[in-house]
Amino acid sequence: MATVAGVAVEGGHWIGGERVSSPATFEDVSPIDGQVIAEIARGGAEEADAAVRAAEAAFPAWSRTSREERARLLHAVADGVEKRLEQLAIVETTDNGALLRSHLRGVMPRVAHNFRFFADRLLELGHEDFDTRGHRNHVSWDPAGVCALITPWNAPLMLATWKIAPALAAGNTVVLKPAEWTPLTASLLADITAEAGLPAGVFNVVQGYGEEVGAALVAHPGVRRISFTGSVPTARHISAAAAAHLTPLSLELGGKSPLVVFADADLDLAVDLAVEQYDNAGQVCLAGTRLLVEESIAEEFTARFAARAGALTQGDPRDLATDIGPNIHPEHFARIDGFVRRALDAGATAVVGGGPNTDLGGLYYRPTLFTGVAADSEIVNEEVFGPVLTLQTFRTEEQAVEMANSTRFGLSATLVTGSEERAARVTERLVAGTVWVNCFFVRDLKAPFGGSRQSGVGREGGDWSFDFYCDLKNTVTAPWAK
């Protein structure tokens, strides 16, 4: 048990409704100041197996629990999240360095909303009936079984509960493997589910490294669904493991999304939206990191952007006035810096930032904007996952579309334009799971969410989540004899 920012957090796994330790542990380090904040159990194949078995044992009763009761319990979990919102927010900030302000105002309320939304959606989920030559077709959503959920560190509890809530609502049991850099809020969530009255084994957490407990979990024959959010290389490993048992999987991966600004745009709005892409120190998969700006306004846009970016406050994420906190980990910081150095070596110009924030030290990287970047350069095509944007210009709508679609990713795209007709024309041709027009990150959980190309496989959200987490069954019944 550790005390993090005054909150007691268990470092063990949560398996079958009990805390379980492992012979080995690893240190959880805060990106804010490099302090070790907790010792966490380092699971492996044994713990993955124990968690899947606990989830298998809990499945028959949970899958037959009425929809109303499942929904009630998920609302009770949401109540627990809301009751402990401040604790969850400060623990998450201490663990991953994202802004306390965001956790308090947006992220943790969204965590509660994830549970409430899917609880309510479950009760609305209809069943389809139709006739074929007098025979009745009845389509039902049957729970699939044990779901293995593997999640990243950039928005740990929000991205985990976005999967946990629909998986549980659908009548499945869950084994969650949070990222090893941010294990803490998953552990607090285990306490909250127990307090809410979720039966033992319905929700389990295994802690540890991806290559160890994560790999064992996704290769387990008892797992019926795998949902993963993270990087493309890890997705390849997980897909290969899933192939062995033909386990259905959902992948939400990285991006290199365009933010396209046309000359007819409201320039103040365009600059606001562009600066917003530094949110979470650039560690947002959906971020529009490639600014594509119509040539005639590029000079003015760049000047205004530089002024706005220069006024951002970088510092301790626990301070509510801070706009940009630290990046997650020294390894990740070095990776970001590598991208920036190679871009500079290749001749790019840093009109904003261009290196670590040496005044603050630690893991603080200056928000950076590059111009003079080649279309085929690394910095334009590879995901940095840090506060690093590029700016390229275009002359025609055709060219803008071509540039927007030019990477191997297709997660999101943002358009800023004053023309409704143009927005419709361009949107139709963009390869992206989500397109925002004159806005960014407006999310309705009813909407399908996921990526095209190498940004993902499949969609979750709304009824698409139930489609993924269930085995759809069609029962065809002949007319009964009268």
Ligand X SMILES: NC(=O)C1=CN([C@@H]2O[C@H](COP(=O)(O)OP(=O)(O)OC[C@H]3O[C@@H](n4cnc5c(N)ncnc54)[C@H](O)[C@@H]3O)[C@@H](O)[C@H]2O)C=CC1
- Our finding on whether 231 is near ligand X (CB under 6 A) is yes
- Our finding on whether 185 is near ligand X (CB under 6 A) is no
Give 397's contacts (C-beta < 8 A, 6+ positions apart).
262, 422, 425, 426
Q: Which of ligand X, ligand LM24SWP5, none does residue 230 bind to, with CB < 5 to 8 Å depending on kind?
A: ligand X
Among 189, 241, 286, 379, binds ligand LM24SWP5 (CB under 6 A): 286
Give the Cα separation of 87 and 206 in Å (integer): 21
Among candidate residues 173, 126, 78, the one with its CA nearest the CA of residue 469: 173
- Our finding on whether 196 is near ligand LM24SWP5 (CB under 6 A) is no
Q: Residue 232 or residue 346: which is nearer to ligand X going by CB?
A: 232
Among 170, 284, 291, 388, binds ligand LM24SWP5 (CB under 6 A): 284
Beta bridge partners of residue 41, listed in sequence order: 25
Among candidate residues 224, 249, 223, the one with its CA nearest the CA of residue 237: 249
E runs forming strands in 151-299: 173-177, 203-205, 223-229, 249-252, 258-261, 290-294
DSSP 387: S
- Our finding on whether 229 is near ligand X (CB under 6 A) is yes
- Our finding on whether 384 is near ligand X (CB under 6 A) is no
Give the Cα separation of 366 and 42 in Å (integer): 34
- Our finding on whether 443 is near ligand LM24SWP5 (CB under 6 A) is yes
* Minimum gap (Å) between residue 286 Cβ and ligand LM24SWP5: 5
Give 198's contacts (C-beta < 8 A, 6+ positions apart).
73, 77, 168
Among candidate residues 445, 46, 414, the one with its CA nearest the CA of residue 208: 46
* Minimum gap (Å) between residue 443 Cβ and ligand LM24SWP5: 5
Kindly report the length of the chain. Answer: 482
| Buried residues in 31-40 as b, exposed as e (16+ CB within 10 A) | bbeeeebbeb
Per-residue x/- mask for ligand X, residues 269 to 298, rule CB under 6 A? ----------------x-------------
- Our finding on whether 254 is near ligand X (CB under 6 A) is yes
Per-residue x/- mask for ligand LM24SWP5, residues 137 to 176, rule CB under 6 A? -----------------xx------x--------------
Q: Which of 252, 294, 383, 460 is catalytic?
A: 252
Q: Which of ligand LM24SWP5, ligand X, none does residue 162 bind to, with CB < 5 to 8 Å depending on kind?
A: ligand LM24SWP5
Give 16's contacts (C-beta < 8 A, 6+ positions apart).
50, 51, 54, 57, 58, 200, 201, 204
Among 80, 97, 201, 214, binds ligand X (CB under 6 A): 214
- Find out whether 275 and 252 touch, Cβ atoms under 8 Å: no
Q: Which of ligand LM24SWP5, ligand X, none does residue 443 bind to, with CB < 5 to 8 Å depending on kind?
A: ligand LM24SWP5
Number of residues that bind ligand X (CB under 6 A): 30
Q: Residue 11 or residue 433: which is nearer to ligand LM24SWP5 going by CB?
A: 433
299 is catalytic: no
Output the CA angle 344-345-347, nearest 5 degrees. 65
- Our finding on whether 180 is near ligand X (CB under 6 A) is yes
- Write out the residues near ligand X by the rule CB under 6 A: 150-154, 159, 177, 179-180, 210-211, 214-215, 218, 229-231, 234, 237-238, 252-255, 285, 383, 385, 411, 451, 456
- Write out the residues near ligand LM24SWP5 by the rule CB under 6 A: 154-155, 162, 280, 284-286, 443, 449
